[in-house]
C-alpha cells in the first residue's frame, strides 16, 4: 500500500519535473532543424523560475474566477499524472479514474482557461477562448473513438488494463485498429496541446493565436502555473501515445531495476515523439483556422476506421 502511494507520488513528481524539459527539448530540436543554435533544453526551467519571481498584474475587469483558474488548470493536469501509467502498471489509483476521466479532467482545465480568457474582457482573450473551445469540441469525438478502439482490444477502459493487455498480446499493437487509433490520437495530440499545424506555441502574431491569445492577460506566478500545466498536458498526451500503443519498458514489478528501466524508456519514448513533433512542426505550415476542422475530421475518420477494424477482428 505504502509503496503504491510512494510510486504514485514519485511518478507524479517525475512527470512534473520532466514536463518543462520536454518542451525545451522540442524547441531545441526545432531550432536545430531550422539551422538555429536554439536555447538550451533547460530554458523552460529558467522561465518558470523567472515567472515565479515576478509580481502578478491583474486586469481591473477580472473577477475571482481569473485568480482561481491557474490553480484549477494546474491541479487538473497534475491529477491526471496520478492516473496515467507513466513508469509502472498497474497503479494503486487505477480504480479512481479510467481513460474517460483523464480526458474529461483535461477538459475541465480547458473549460476554466477559456472562461478566464473571457474574463478580462479583451478581444484577444475572447478570440482565444472561442477558438480553443471550437478545437476542443471538435477533437472530442476522435478522442472518444480512439478510446473505444483501445478499450475493445483490451476489454477495459482502464489505462493499466489496456497497457497490460497489449503487453500480454503483442500482436494487437501491430493490428490495424491500434495503428489507426494511434494516427488519430496523434493528430488530436497536436490539436489539444496547441502545436502546429493547429496552433503555433511560439507565436505572438495576433491573428493566428489560440492558446497564447487566451492567456494573454496572465503574468507572474499565474502564468508560470498555466505554462507548466500546458507542458504537463503535452507530456501526458505524449506518454499516452507512447505507453498505450508501445507499452514495452513499463515496470510491471516494483523492483529498482525495472523502475530505472521504465524511467529510462519513458524518457527515450518522449524524446522520440518530441523529435517527430519537431519535424512535423518544421515541415508543415500552420493551417488556417477554418481548415482545422478538416484535419480533425480526417482524424475522426481514422478513429472510426480503427473502431471498425477492431470490431471485425474481435
Q: Which of 5, 42, 71, 264 binds another protein (CB under 8 A)?
A: 71
Say if residues 94 and 65 touch (Cβ distance below 8 Å): no
Give SS3 for 313: helix
Q: CB of 257: closest distance to another protein in angstroms?
A: 30
Q: Which stretch binds another protein (CB under 8 A): 24-32, 142-150, 172-180, 274-282?
A: 142-150
Q: Which is nearer to another protein, 40 or 53 (CB)?
A: 53
Neighbours of 111 (CB within 10 A): 19
DSSP secondary structure, 192-240, as one string? HTT-TTT--TT---GGG-SHHHHTTT--HHHHHHHHHHHHHHHHHHHHH
Nearest Cα residue to 96 out of 83, 106, 81 = 83
89-118 residues in contact with another protein (CB under 8 A) are 93-98, 100-101, 104-105, 107-108, 110-111, 114-115, 118
- Cβ-contact 118, 125 below 8 angstroms: yes
Minimum CB separation of residue 261 from another protein in Å reads 28
C-alpha cell of residue 96:
479512481
Contacts (CB under 8 A) with another protein, residues 199-218:
216-217
Q: Which of 1, 3, 257, 290 binds another protein (CB under 8 A)?
A: 290
Please state the closest distance from residue 132 (CB atom) to another protein, in A.
9
- Using CB under 8 A as the binding criterion, the count of chain residues that bind another protein stands at 83
Q: Which of 58, 67, 225, 237 is nearest to 142 (CA)?
A: 237
Residue 115: its H or E element: helix 99-118
- 258 binds another protein, rule: CB under 8 A: no
> Should residue 170 be labelled a site residue for another protein when binding is judged by CB under 8 A?
no
Among 87, 133, 242, 277, indicate the residue that binds another protein (CB under 8 A).
133
Select from 91, 127, 244, 263 the one that contacts another protein (CB under 8 A).
127
How far is the C-alpha of 168 from the C-alpha of 10, rounded, in Å?
26
Residues 41 to 70 in contact with another protein, rule: CB under 8 A: 52-61, 63-65
Q: Does 289 bind another protein (CB under 8 A)?
A: yes
* Residue from the set 10, 43, 157, 203 that interacts with another protein by CB under 8 A: 157
Q: Residue 236's closest CA among 115, 97, 102, 44?
A: 102
Min separation Cβ 71 and another protein, Å: 5
Rounded to a whole number of angstroms, the minimum distance from the CB of residue 163 to another protein is 15
Say if residues 18 and 235 touch (Cβ distance below 8 Å): yes
Which residue number, 26 or 80, has a Cβ lying nearer to another protein? 80
The CA distance from 160 to 94, in Å, is 7
Amino acid at each position: 500500500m505504502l509503496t503504491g502511494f510512494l510510486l504514485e507520488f514519485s511518478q507524479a513528481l517525475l512527470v512534473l519535473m520532466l514536463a518543462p524539459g520536454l518542451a525545451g527539448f522540442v524547441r531545441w530540436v526545432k531550432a536545430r532543424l531550422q539551422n538555429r543554435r536554439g536555447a538550451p533544453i533547460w530554458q523552460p526551467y529558467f522561465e518558470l523560475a523567472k515567472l515565479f519571481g515576478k509580481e502578478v498584474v491583474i486586469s481591473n475587469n477580472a473577477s475571482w474566477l481569473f485568480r482561481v483558474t491557474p490553480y484549477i488548470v494546474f491541479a487538473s493536469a497534475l491529477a491526471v499524472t496520478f492516473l496515467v501509467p507513466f513508469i509502472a502498471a498497474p497503479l494503486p489509483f487505477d480504480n479512481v479514474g479510467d481513460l474517460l476521466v483523464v480526458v474529461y479532467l483535461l477538459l475541465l482545465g480547458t473549460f476554466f482557461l477559456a472562461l478566464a480568457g473571457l474574463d478580462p474582457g479583451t478581444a484577444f482573450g475572447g478570440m482565444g477562448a472561442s477558438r480553443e473551445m471550437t478545437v476542443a469540441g471538435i477533437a472530442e469525438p476522435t478522442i472518444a473513438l480512439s478510446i473505444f478502439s483501445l478499450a475493445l482490444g483490451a476489454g477495459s477502459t482502464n489505462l493499466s488494463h489496456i497497457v497490460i493487455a497489449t503487453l500480454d498480446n503483442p500482436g494487437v499493437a501491430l493490428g490495424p485498429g491500434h495503428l489507426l487509433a494511434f494516427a488519430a490520437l496523434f493528430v488530436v495530440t497536436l490539436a489539444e496541446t496547441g502545436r502546429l499545424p493547429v496552433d503555433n506555441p511560439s507565436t505572438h502574431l495576433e491573428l493566428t493565436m489560440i492558446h497564447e491569445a487566451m492567456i494573454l492577460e496572465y503574468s507572474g506566478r499565474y502564468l508560470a502555473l498555466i505554462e507548466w500545466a500546458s507542458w504537463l498536458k503535452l507530456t501526458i498526451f505524449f506518454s499516452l501515445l507512447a505507453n498505450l500503443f508501445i507499452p514495452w519498458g513499463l515496470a510491471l514489478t516494483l523492483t529498482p531495476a525495472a523502475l530505472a528501466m521504465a524511467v529510462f524508456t519513458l524518457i527515450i519514448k518522449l524524446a522520440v515523439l518530441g523529435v517527430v513533433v519537431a519535424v512535423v512542426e518544421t515541415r508543415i505550415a500552420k493551417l488556417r483556422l477554418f481548415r482545422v476542422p478538416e484535419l480533425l475530421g480526417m482524424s475522426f475518420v481514422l478513429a472510426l476506421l480503427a473502431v471498425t477494424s477492431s470490431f471485425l477482428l474481435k
